[in-house]
């Protein structure tokens, strides 16, 4: 009984604030507060009409898709490489590649800006955001794919090789179908990380906006009630990606 109360309190603390934002995105009252007013979709309609939000939305989508594809590629190759190494090397390299996740995102973001502006004199923009997001997503891809590869029977690959398959052929026909669900899961997690990131994007995007930097602009200036609607949109996108990732890796693996 006491554990039920404990669990309920935890759920209230964790989900309560997030649900509030969702709830008030449908209220006609301009700010979070009771009474919340009547049910309305006005804030969403306002977003649909807002061209600033349009460009931010599509920038976020492009960055997330590019991050998902590229981080899954670099991370998966690294994971396949790592399992061929001695465990001592694997641990050291994995720890090194995970460093960008442990440092404050602020420091990573500023360092990237310093390099691109001062070091090579290339302007900032969407490609730099994508590179930054690949950097912080690939450690997660490596972990997910390595976990899958650890449970994967390497003798199947050896059997294929004995039967005359080339390296690439064995990979494409034996390994890849086995780890495909993990790759999809890793790509979805990368996309969710990319959508959720605010700090790296806000420093490296230069002009323009992602959804996160767009909502930040509104949070800093006025308490615009459409923040609730944008936040809910972002929430639905990241949570559904994460839930999908969980489903894919649960049912296929």
Partner 1 sequence: MNRSALVLLAPATLVFATIFALPVSLLFLISFWSVRSYRLQPDFTFGAWQRFFTEYWDLTLYTLLVGVLAGLICTLLGFVFAYAVRFKAGAYGDTLMLATLITLFGGYLVKVYAWKSILGADGLLNQALMIIGLRKEPMAFLIYSRSAVVIALVHFLLPFAILPIYAGLRNVPDETIDAARDLGATSSQVLSRVILPQIKMGLSSAFIFCFLLSAGDYVTPMLLGGTSGSMLGQFVLLEFSTRFNWPAGSALSFGLLFACLIVLAVLTLAAGIVVRQKPVTGPVK
Site for partner 1 in 109-128 (CB under 8 A): 110-112, 114-115, 118-119
> By CB under 8 A, what part of segment 142-171 binds partner 1?
142
Candidates 27, 56, 197, 205: give the one binding partner 1 (CB under 8 A): 197
User: Cα 206 to chain center, whole Å?
Assistant: 21
Using CB under 8 A as the binding rule, whether residue 251 contacts partner 1 is answered as no
Report the nearest approach of partner 1 to the CB of residue 63 (Å). 15
Q: Which long-range contacts (CB under 8 A, 24 or more apart) does 24-28 make?
A: 24/225, 24/228, 25/228, 25/229, 25/231, 25/232
Establish how many alpha carbons lie within 13 A of residue 83's alpha carbon, considering only the half-sphere containing its beta carbon. Answer: 18
Two tokens at 65?
Answer: 């898709």
With residue 196 as reference, give the H or E element that holds it: helix 176-196
Candidates 69, 242, 244, 253: give the one binding partner 1 (CB under 8 A): 242
Nearest residue (CB) to partner 1, 179 versus 192? 192
> By CB under 8 A, what part of segment 28-57 binds partner 1?
31-34
Candidates 62, 65, 126, 131: give the one binding partner 1 (CB under 8 A): 131
Nearest residue (CB) to partner 1, 13 versus 49? 13
Local structure of 93: helix, strand or coil: helix
Rounded Cα gap, residues 1 and 237, in angstroms:
35
Using CB under 8 A as the binding rule, whether residue 173 contacts partner 1 is answered as no
Rounded Cα gap, residues 144 and 150, in angstroms:
10
Rounded Cα gap, residues 104 and 50, in angstroms:
33
Q: Tell me the window of 42-50, 59-67, 152-160, 208-216 that interacts with partner 1 (CB under 8 A).
A: 208-216
CB 224 within 8 A of CB 216: no
> By CB under 8 A, what part of segment 2-31 binds partner 1?
3, 6-7, 10-11, 13-15, 17-18, 20-21, 24, 31
Nearest residue (CB) to partner 1, 181 versus 232? 232
């Amino acid at each position: 009984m006491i554990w039920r109360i404990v669990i309920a309190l935890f759920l209230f603390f964790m989900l309560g604030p997030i649900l509030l934002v969702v709830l008030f995105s449908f209220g006609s009252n301009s700010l979070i507060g009771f009474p919340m007013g009547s049910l309305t979709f006005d804030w969403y309609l306002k977003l649909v009409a807002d061209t600033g939000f349009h460009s931010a939305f599509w920038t976020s989508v492009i960055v997330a898709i590019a991050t998902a594809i590229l981080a899954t590629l670099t991370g998966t190759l690294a994971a396949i490489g790592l399992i061929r190494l001695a465990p001592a090397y694997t641990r050291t390299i994995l720890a090194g590649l995970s460093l960008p996740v442990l440092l404050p995102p602020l420091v990573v973001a500023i360092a990237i800006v310093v390099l691109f502006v001062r070091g090579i004199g290339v302007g900032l923009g969407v490609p730099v955001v994508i590179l930054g997001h690949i950097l912080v997503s690939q450690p997660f891809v490596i972990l997910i794919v390595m976990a899958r590869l650890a449970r994967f029977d390497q003798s199947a690959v050896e059997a294929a090789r004995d039967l005359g398959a080339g390296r690439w052929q064995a990979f494409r026909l034996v390994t890849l179908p086995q780890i495909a669900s993990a790759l999809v899961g890793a790509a979805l997690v990368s996309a969710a990380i990319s959508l959720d990131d605010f700090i790296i994007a806000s420093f490296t995007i230069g002009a323009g906006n992602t959804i996160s930097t767009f909502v930040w602009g509104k949070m800093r200036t006025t308490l615009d009630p459409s923040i609730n609607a944008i936040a809910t949109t972002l929430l639905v996108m990241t949570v559904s990606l994460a839930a999908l990732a969980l489903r894919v890796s649960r049912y296929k693996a």
